[in-house]
Amino acid sequence: MADTQFGPHGWTPERLGSLAGRCYVITGANAGTGYEAARLFLSKGASVVMLNRSAEKSAAAIATLKAEHGTEADVRFVEMDLADLASVRRAAEEVRETVPRIDALICNAAIAQVPKQRLTVDGFESQLGTNHYGHFALCGLLFERIEESEGRIVVVASLGYNMGIKTIQFDDLNWDKTYSANAVYSQSKLAQMMFAYELQDRIRAAGKSVEVLVCHPGSSKTSLIKTSGSPVMRAIWWLMTKSPMVQTAQQGAYPEVMCATEEGLEERALYGPTGRMEFVGPVGRGTLHPHAHDKPVMTRLWEVSEAATGVVWPL
């Protein structure tokens, strides 16, 4: 799909000016696209708060970032496991206590292609529980802080949203009957997008000052499949990374950095690569299929999500 909004080369970090005084909170930022986004923000003088599971990996990532950007680089870590709602609540409380402003909360972390059904500590199917419920709760708990800065929420989705059943399986959200790694991953990413688009509607109705944008990284060289996918999926992905259909993690970070910083973007949209199959290529506005913003389904999902997480949004 051709997109000329940012010219033939699409959006690139050259469009960024100084980000001094701004703060970006990123989930899953010790590797992959989240780490590359943190690098870009720090290179422009911004502050970065990482929300990650692993203290050890986070410390190593921070040490590398400070070696690159200087010891004065303002990058911090808060421990959080999206698959554990108690952990999400603790992390949100720490952020509220220690982070005075949030210019963008970037929902970047995810798990994918989990080969066999696993449940979170709260009893949710692991991909839906981590990718959707965890972020739904986190965003709700930090919403007022984001609004104070008239900030943004950036939801990092996936083209996988269009590869499953194209709706939410409300009668079996844990997929007890027909679990499939691909279908359930697709469901979790569709849920994230529906959450974002429903949130846009609710913010508008409430007259609040928070922008919500949705993007995807395309096909990027990250550890996502290696972390949670089956041996077969890992092998397939390894082969794909040798082809021109996979780009670098740094390029994969461009859409989320753009959505966190660029003015004049449209909310009911999906931003990402616009080249071949929208896997790679210049970053701009891509194809958004209508099932991702099916209003009755979005509304029901919101109600189910509030009940499941116990997080009632201030809207």
**What is the DSSP-derived secondary structure letter of residue 71?**
T
Q: Tokens 């959200």 correspond to what residue?
A: 173
Of residues 161, 189, 197, 254, which has the active-site annotation?
189
Task: Quote the tokens at residue 263.
Answer: 């003015």
For the chain, how big is the Rg over CA atoms in Å? 18
CA atoms within 13 A on the CB side of 109: 28
Read off the tokens for 61: 């990532």
Residue type at 80 in one-letter notation: M
Beta strands 47-52 and 75-79, pairing class: parallel
State the catalytic residue, choosing from 133, 161, 185, 271: 185
Active site residue 189: yes
d(CA 287, CA 271): 8
Q: Which tokens go with 199? A: 């949130």
Residue 230: which residues within 8 A CB-CB, separation 6 or more?
113, 115, 181
Q: Which residues are catalytic?
A: 185, 189
